[in-house]
């Protein structure tokens, strides 16, 4: 009996190259991101981690090569807000931006969208801050609001840039729990992180150095997640 074909990855990058003003940020990156798994990208500062995440998210066009998401929806959560911190936006407004992938910008939100925003606020324990101006939040609260924005999208693929960096222990634990919930939902999660606790739960660890993949751990399913499924 012939072996079963390998499952189609959630994301596939081939010969990915990104340059900035002649400086190579990513060089000949080939990567398959397994579906329904947690992939953590590690490496020193300047290794190209955030650039890789942006390219996988489709928010940065590669200089050459390509990324195939196989028709799956993607939600990208950067380290810093993509919305102006001085704009008169509440926390709920910022989280609601996550629904634009379904409704389009500035279109009326439906009942499902409002429910997704409410759930994301609750999961990140910021429902009590919903009416506060985003610009007055602490750094940790802003990071939780940005992750809530990503959760509200309810995307097939969630791409996170340092989701626990600089947070207090309680906030970091909330973000890790939200990531675990997304995996249980069946989402694919890719994150850049130095968080040893998050790395320890990864199904795959990809190491970058000087814009190249120098390590790619075999995918595995943790015993805890296997039991949960």
In a domain, residue 29? The reply is no
pLDDT at residue 224, as a whole number: 46
pLDDT at residue 103, as a whole number: 59
pTM for this model (two decimals) = 0.86
Q: How many domains does the chain have?
A: 1
In a domain, residue 18? The reply is no
pLDDT at residue 62, as a whole number: 93
In a domain, residue 15? The reply is no
pLDDT at residue 81, as a whole number: 60
Question: Is the pLDDT confidence value at 221 over 50?
Answer: no
In a domain, residue 131? The reply is yes
Q: Looking at residue 95, which CATH number applies to its domain?
A: 3.40.50.300
Average pLDDT score, the chain: 87
In a domain, residue 8? The reply is no
Tell which wins on pLDDT, 207 or 82. 207
In a domain, residue 220? The reply is no
What distance in Å separates the CA atoms of residue 157 and residue 72, rounded to the nearest whole number? 7
pLDDT at residue 104, as a whole number: 60
What distance in Å separates the CA atoms of residue 159 and residue 179, rounded to the nearest whole number? 10
Tokens of 56: 């996988």
**What percentage of the chain has pLDDT greater than the value 70?**
86
- At 86-131, the pLDDT tens digits run 678 899 999 998 888 665 666 678 888 999 999 999 999 999 999 9
Query: Band of the pLDDT at 83, cuts 50, 70, 90?
Result: low
In a domain, residue 9? The reply is no
Helix, strand or coil for residue 191?
strand
Tell the burial category of 127 from Cβ atoms under 10 Å away from its Cβ (0-12, 13-18, 19+): middle
Domain that holds residue 131: 35-58+73-205
In a domain, residue 4? The reply is no
Mean pLDDT is lowest, of 28-42, 104-118, 142-156, 213-227, for 213-227
Q: Tell me if 47 sits within 8 A of 208, measured CB to CB.
A: yes
pLDDT at residue 225, as a whole number: 43
Tell the burial category of 91 from Cβ atoms under 10 Å away from its Cβ (0-12, 13-18, 19+): buried
pLDDT at residue 139, as a whole number: 84
């Amino acid at each position: 009996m012939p072996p079963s074909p390998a499952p189609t990855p959630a994301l596939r990058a081939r010969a990915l190259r990104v340059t900035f003003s002649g400086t190579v940020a990513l060089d000949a990156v080939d990567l398959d991101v397994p579906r329904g798994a947690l992939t953590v990208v590690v490496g020193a500062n300047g290794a190209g981690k955030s650039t890789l995440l942006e390219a996988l998210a489709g928010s940065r066009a590669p200089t050459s090569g390509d990324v195939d998401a196989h028709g799956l929806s993607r939600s990208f959560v950067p380290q810093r807000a993509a919305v102006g911190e001085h704009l008169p936006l509440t926390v709920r407004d910022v989280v609601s931006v996550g629904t634009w992938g379904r409704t389009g910008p500035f279109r009326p939100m439906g009942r499902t969208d409002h429910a997704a925003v409410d759930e994301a606020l609750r999961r990140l324990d910021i429902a009590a801050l919903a009416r506060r101006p985003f610009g007055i939040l602490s750094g940790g609260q802003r990071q939780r609001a940005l992750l809530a924005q990503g959760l509200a999208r309810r995307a097939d693929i969630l791409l996170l840039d340092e989701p626990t960096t600089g947070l207090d222990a309680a906030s970091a634990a909330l973000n890790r729990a939200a990531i675990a919930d997304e995996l249980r939902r069946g989402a694919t999660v890719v994150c850049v992180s130095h968080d040893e606790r998050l790395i320890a739960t990864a199904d795959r660890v990809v190491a970058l150095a000087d814009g190249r993949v120098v390590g790619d751990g075999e995918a595995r399913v943790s015993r805890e997640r296997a039991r949960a499924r």
